[in-house]
Amino acid sequence: MSESEKTEIPKEEQKEHPPFYLSLKRILTTTHHKDIGVMYIVTSFFFFFLAGVSALFLRAELARPGEQIIEAAVYNSLLTLHGSTMIFLWIIPVFVGFANYLLPTMIGAKDMYFPKLNALGFWILPIAGALFWLGRPGIGWTGYAPLSVIDPGIGVDMWILAMHLVGTSSIIGAFNFIATIFKLRKPGMSLKTMPIFVWSMVVTSFLVLAATPVLAIVLSLLLLDRNFGTGFFLPGPGGDPILWQHLFWFYSHPAVYIMILPGMGLISEIIPRLARKTLYGHYTMVLSLVLIGVLGFAVWAHHMFTSGLSISARIPFMFMTMAIAIPSGIKVFNWVATMYGGRLKLEVPMLFAISFVGTFIVAGVTGVFTASIPIDYALHDTYFVVGHLHFILFGASTQAVFAALYYYFPYMTKKMYNQSLAKLHFIGTSIGLYLTFFTFTALGLEGMPRRVVDYLPELMPLNQIATFGAIIIAISQLVLLYNMLHSWLKGRKAEDDPWQLAKYGLRDYD
């Protein structure tokens, strides 16, 4: 008997699944996939807002040149916490949360294959988050050696431990998703007919299993250098700081796709339903997911074009990076083709989905510039790269989260949110992200380096525009927070078919 069969929920309880959050004991002991999914999402949003506050402090400091509000050491700590939290405690686990909630239902399973292991994967995350924020390291989210080796504070060691815990949680989740998909699919559901979101989690899970152990290795080597006198990354004892970059980016560039592929899967579920059509090119969407996953392991050195690698080593990475535009372009074409001729229902989830597609194109175009070796020489480690990264992770990935949150909120809570506030959130987020991140790219073209607390006075107007955009983003997220909390507690009851799919012959996974 499988673990999922041992913890099967009685049929009556499945029909009237009581809100688990009303009981502390239920929160601490639940292993039901929908409960764990909601807990992942709520916890990730907590860290999203926490990291957002740190971003506001960073932008407030950069509104004027010189040290105005926070000193350089505090700036470096907040920069590290913002990056580490947004990546490892927000965007990766929030997609795990949606996968927990949706994936078993999509494949006809009663629960995850290992429910207790699934709960363990979640409870590791709050511990990792506490270590991140209590340690307050100042080494940047990339932890580049030799700075991360020689930093005397215990905060770096706490950061290393937190990263190990986050990686352990990711591996647990990936292993569980693969086991659930391949062992618990309902009879008659072949790999060819699986929903796109399920396929996105298959590819993402294999990326996690292949890449995360490499991150664990490089973190362990860093821990040895810091505490046991080894010299893997220090030139003096014969080590090489570039080794850190190779191993770190071998994980961290596939991690970019770990942070975007689930979003692509969610968008591929939402657009067809709100366009009242079937998804255009199901098989090519699956193939493009697989190609992105495979190519993601062949591009890590494009982060290192200025590190002294030989030209013969750099050129293949440049071409492989540009090649990822092909499967990415297939996806954009299929999303647009799905919407073309459809009866679009421009509800907030659809607005965020359409914005996701547009922003993903912008992110891809800015990425092509940095993929070119000569252009990268001018733009590397400038705010252009910061703008590109934020177009991917906030403009695309986070907008996919917003689209999914608004779409599935009625199913998760049985309540409906305020449509006017939701549209206000969309408008503010869209204005803020383009105002901020396009300004980042302009700052990069003007030569402003990233990770700096001070800058030349002539760059102040652009920095003030970016800070103003960040404030708009922050206010918009407060609207989201109020809308979700108020609607969850006091909102009107949602209909059983909130998006009226049945009248168009469609159905959802509820």
CA distance 33 to 225: 40
Residue with tokens 């939701």: 422
Query: What's the gap between Cα 47 and its chain centre?
Result: 12
Q: Where are the domains of the chain?
A: 23-259, 263-505
Task: Report the SS3 class of residue 415.
Answer: strand
**CATH topology (fold) of 263-505:** Cytochrome C Oxidase; Chain A (1.20.210)
Which token pair is 153? 């504070």
| pLDDT recorded at residue 209 | 97
| pLDDT recorded at residue 19 | 73
Mutual orientation of helices 261-275 and 241-258 as an angle, nearest 10°? 20
| pLDDT recorded at residue 509 | 66
Judge whether 23-259 and 263-505 match in fold.
yes
| pLDDT recorded at residue 506 | 76
CA distance 136 to 320: 36
φ, ψ (nearest 5 deg) of residue 236: -55, -55
Beta strands (DSSP E) in 90-227 are: none
Evaluate whether 162 touches 131 at the Cβ level (below 8 Å): yes
Q: Which residues contact 6 (CB under 8 A, 6 or more apart)?
A: none
Evaluate whether 325 touches 364 at the Cβ level (below 8 Å): yes
CA distance 109 to 290: 24
Residue with tokens 């810091």: 226
Q: Which residues pair with 415 in a beta bridge?
A: 493
Nearest to 129 by CA among 163, 172, 157: 163
CA distance 23 to 420: 32
CA distance 3 to 505: 35
Evaluate whether 352 touches 402 at the Cβ level (below 8 Å): yes
Name the DSSP letter for residue 145: T
| pLDDT recorded at residue 13 | 41
CATH class of 23-259: mainly alpha
Q: Which residues contact 121 (CB under 8 A, 6 or more apart)?
A: 96, 168, 169, 172, 173, 176
Q: Look up the pTM and report it.
A: 0.94
Mutual orientation of helices 33-61 and 115-135 as an angle, nearest 10°? 20
φ, ψ (nearest 5 deg) of residue 431: -65, -45
Nearest to 135 by CA among 152, 157, 115, 119: 157
- The DSSP line for 256-290 is HHHTTHHHHHHHHHHHHHHHTSPPTTHHHHHHHHH
Which token pair is 488? 């969850």
Which token pair is 422? 């939701």
Per-residue pLDDT of the chain in tens (510 residues, 90 and over written 9): 333 434 444 444 444 456 777 788 888 999 999 999 999 999 999 999 999 999 999 999 999 999 889 999 999 999 999 999 999 999 999 999 999 999 999 999 999 999 999 999 999 999 999 999 999 999 999 999 999 999 998 999 999 999 999 999 999 999 999 999 999 999 989 998 999 999 999 999 999 999 999 999 999 999 999 999 999 999 989 999 999 999 999 999 999 999 999 999 999 999 999 999 999 999 999 999 999 999 999 999 999 999 999 999 999 999 999 999 999 999 999 999 999 988 888 999 999 999 999 999 999 999 989 999 999 999 999 999 999 999 999 999 999 999 999 999 999 999 999 999 999 999 999 999 999 999 999 999 999 999 999 999 999 999 999 999 999 999 999 999 999 999 999 989 998 889 988 877 777 765
Evaluate whether 175 touches 120 at the Cβ level (below 8 Å): no
* Helix %, strand %, coil % of the chain (to 5): 75, 0, 25
CA distance 414 to 217: 44
Name the DSSP letter for residue 449: B
| pLDDT recorded at residue 18 | 63
